[in-house]
Amino acid sequence: MRKPLKFGCRPNLRLKHAPYGGKQLQQTFILRNFTPKDLQRVMYINRVCLPENYGDYFFMDLYNRFPETFIVAEVNGEIVGYIMCRIELGLSNFCFSGFIKKGHIVSIAVMPEHRRKGIGYALVSKAMEGMRFYGAKQAFLEVRVSNMPAINLYEKLGFKVTRTIHGYYSDGEDAYVMSREL
């Protein structure tokens, strides 16, 4: 198993939209691979943050099949976010190059009080490393068309809208499929 990564922000770093008078407070988090003991906390974060919820079997199936793409973020020893992905075989989202391995970001969530601190960006970046480990050539995800903070984050990570799925979510909202090359 890989050693957890530590991420931090320099104190007093000026940001474009930073709270606290344009200064970001010192915040450190670590990323590490999910383990089964994390399941209840990850399911709690999923329920708090997202309307799409999954049973414990679904989480554990993705962990068992693709452990390098199931990552959690901790702040002061508490899990505050997660990302889980799977590797699929499918047609390229960009061109007609036949079937390729693609990393699918199935679910990502960060507790509301820990958003806009770089955790989501780091989770996606780390998960894409795991996708490459499994031989994926592209990454993709679905996102609500109304979720502008997430769309902006994914664009910063190099994702582009490749299509729209009408009525994708259970409440009838459309989803953008956002994709990028790995």
Q: What is the pLDDT of residues 6-33, one digit of tens each?
A: 444 333 222 223 333 444 445 589 999 9
**87 neighbors 69 (Cβ within 8 angstroms):** yes
pTM over 0.85: no
Residues 6+ apart with CB under 8 A from 161: 151, 176, 177, 178
DSSP, collapsed to helix, strand or coil, labels residue 129 as helix
**For residue 97, pLDDT beyond 60:** yes
**9 neighbors 118 (Cβ within 8 angstroms):** yes
**97 neighbors 138 (Cβ within 8 angstroms):** no
**For residue 58, pLDDT beyond 80:** yes
Domain 5-181: which topology? Aminopeptidase (3.40.630)
Number of H helices and number of E strands within the chain? 5, 8
Distance of alpha carbon 66 from alpha carbon 139, whole angstroms: 14
Lowest mean pLDDT among 24-28, 38-42, 70-74, 87-91: 24-28
What average pLDDT does this structure show over 91-109? 87
> What pLDDT, on a 0 to 100 scale, did the predictor assign at position 32?
97
Mean pLDDT value across the chain: 87
Using a pLDDT cut of 90, give the percent of the chain over it.
77
How many whole angstroms from its chain centre is CA 142? 11
- Cα–Cα distances (Å) from 69 to 9, 65, 124, 150, in that order, read 24, 9, 9, 19
